[in-house]
Amino acid sequence: MHWLYIFLGGGLGAASRYAVASGVQQLAANTRLHKFPVGILACNLLGSFVIGLIIGFMAVRHQESWARLHPFAVAGFLGSFTTFSTFALDTHKLFGETPLLAIVNLAASVLGSLAAVWLGFKAANTLFL
Protein backbone atom coordinates (compact mmCIF):
# COMPACT_ATOMS: atom_id res chain seq x y z
CA MET A 1 0.00 0.00 0.00
CA HIS A 2 2.94 2.35 0.61
CA TRP A 3 3.76 2.24 -3.10
CA LEU A 4 0.33 3.58 -3.97
CA TYR A 5 0.69 6.46 -1.51
CA ILE A 6 4.15 7.29 -2.89
CA PHE A 7 2.80 7.15 -6.45
CA LEU A 8 -0.14 9.46 -5.69
CA GLY A 9 1.96 11.88 -3.64
CA GLY A 10 4.65 11.92 -6.31
CA GLY A 11 2.20 12.85 -9.05
CA LEU A 12 0.70 15.65 -6.98
CA GLY A 13 4.15 16.86 -5.94
CA ALA A 14 5.46 16.97 -9.50
CA ALA A 15 2.41 18.88 -10.75
CA SER A 16 2.69 21.26 -7.79
CA ARG A 17 6.40 21.81 -8.44
CA TYR A 18 5.69 22.68 -12.06
CA ALA A 19 2.95 25.13 -11.07
CA VAL A 20 4.92 26.82 -8.28
CA ALA A 21 8.24 26.95 -10.15
CA SER A 22 6.60 28.30 -13.32
CA GLY A 23 4.54 30.83 -11.38
CA VAL A 24 7.45 32.15 -9.35
CA GLN A 25 9.71 32.26 -12.41
CA GLN A 26 7.03 34.17 -14.30
CA LEU A 27 6.78 36.68 -11.46
CA ALA A 28 10.53 37.23 -11.75
CA ALA A 29 10.46 37.58 -15.56
CA ASN A 30 10.57 41.38 -15.58
CA THR A 31 12.99 41.76 -12.69
CA ARG A 32 16.74 41.50 -12.21
CA LEU A 33 16.17 37.86 -11.22
CA HIS A 34 14.88 36.82 -14.65
CA LYS A 35 17.98 34.65 -15.33
CA PHE A 36 18.13 33.20 -11.82
CA PRO A 37 16.23 29.94 -11.15
CA VAL A 38 14.04 31.45 -8.41
CA GLY A 39 11.17 29.06 -9.19
CA ILE A 40 13.14 25.90 -8.39
CA LEU A 41 14.81 27.63 -5.45
CA ALA A 42 11.36 28.51 -4.06
CA CYS A 43 10.19 24.88 -4.42
CA ASN A 44 13.31 23.50 -2.75
CA LEU A 45 13.17 25.97 0.15
CA LEU A 46 9.43 25.53 0.69
CA GLY A 47 9.70 21.75 0.44
CA SER A 48 12.59 21.73 2.91
CA PHE A 49 10.60 23.79 5.38
CA VAL A 50 7.55 21.54 5.05
CA ILE A 51 9.59 18.34 5.49
CA GLY A 52 11.09 19.81 8.66
CA LEU A 53 7.62 20.73 9.85
CA ILE A 54 6.23 17.24 9.18
CA ILE A 55 9.16 15.38 10.73
CA GLY A 56 9.16 17.76 13.69
CA PHE A 57 5.44 17.23 14.19
CA MET A 58 5.83 13.46 14.01
CA ALA A 59 8.70 13.58 16.52
CA VAL A 60 6.61 15.61 18.98
CA ARG A 61 3.34 13.71 18.60
CA HIS A 62 4.67 10.18 18.01
CA GLN A 63 1.33 9.33 16.46
CA GLU A 64 1.06 6.21 14.32
CA SER A 65 -1.51 7.84 12.05
CA TRP A 66 0.99 10.53 11.07
CA ALA A 67 3.69 7.94 10.50
CA ARG A 68 1.42 6.41 7.84
CA LEU A 69 1.33 9.80 6.12
CA HIS A 70 5.11 9.66 5.61
CA PRO A 71 5.07 7.66 2.32
CA PHE A 72 2.53 10.02 0.74
CA ALA A 73 3.77 13.36 2.07
CA VAL A 74 7.53 12.93 2.44
CA ALA A 75 8.64 10.25 -0.02
CA GLY A 76 5.93 11.00 -2.59
CA PHE A 77 4.81 14.62 -2.57
CA LEU A 78 7.91 16.34 -1.19
CA GLY A 79 10.23 13.93 -2.97
CA SER A 80 8.91 15.13 -6.31
CA PHE A 81 8.07 18.71 -5.28
CA THR A 82 11.72 19.39 -4.49
CA THR A 83 14.30 18.55 -7.11
CA PHE A 84 18.03 18.11 -6.99
CA SER A 85 18.42 17.31 -10.68
CA THR A 86 16.81 20.56 -11.85
CA PHE A 87 18.88 22.50 -9.30
CA ALA A 88 22.03 20.85 -10.69
CA LEU A 89 21.08 21.62 -14.30
CA ASP A 90 20.20 25.24 -13.50
CA THR A 91 23.50 25.69 -11.66
CA HIS A 92 25.42 24.11 -14.55
CA LYS A 93 23.79 26.55 -16.99
CA LEU A 94 24.56 29.48 -14.71
CA PHE A 95 28.24 28.50 -14.52
CA GLY A 96 28.38 28.79 -18.31
CA GLU A 97 26.65 32.19 -18.36
CA THR A 98 27.34 33.91 -15.05
CA PRO A 99 29.60 32.01 -12.64
CA LEU A 100 28.86 34.37 -9.75
CA LEU A 101 25.12 33.63 -10.01
CA ALA A 102 25.93 29.90 -10.04
CA ILE A 103 27.78 30.29 -6.74
CA VAL A 104 24.89 32.33 -5.31
CA ASN A 105 22.47 29.58 -6.40
CA LEU A 106 24.63 26.90 -4.77
CA ALA A 107 24.83 28.79 -1.48
CA ALA A 108 21.17 29.86 -1.44
CA SER A 109 19.92 26.37 -2.30
CA VAL A 110 22.10 24.31 0.01
CA LEU A 111 22.31 26.64 3.00
CA GLY A 112 18.75 27.88 2.53
CA SER A 113 17.34 24.34 2.39
CA LEU A 114 19.24 23.28 5.50
CA ALA A 115 18.00 26.39 7.31
CA ALA A 116 14.44 25.74 6.10
CA VAL A 117 14.46 22.16 7.45
CA TRP A 118 15.75 23.44 10.79
CA LEU A 119 13.11 26.21 10.89
CA GLY A 120 10.35 23.75 10.02
CA PHE A 121 11.46 21.36 12.75
CA LYS A 122 11.67 24.21 15.30
CA ALA A 123 8.25 25.51 14.23
CA ALA A 124 6.73 22.07 14.74
CA ASN A 125 8.26 21.84 18.19
CA THR A 126 6.92 25.28 19.08
CA LEU A 127 3.45 24.83 17.57
CA PHE A 128 2.71 21.26 18.57
CA LEU A 129 4.27 20.78 22.00
Residues in the annotated binding site for Na(+): 79, 82
Instruction: Answer yes or no: are the C-beta atoms of 83 and 17 closer than 8 Å.
Output: yes
Angle, CA of 124, 127 and 129, to the nearest 5°: 85
- How far is residue 77's CA from residue 41's CA, in Å, rounded to a whole number? 17
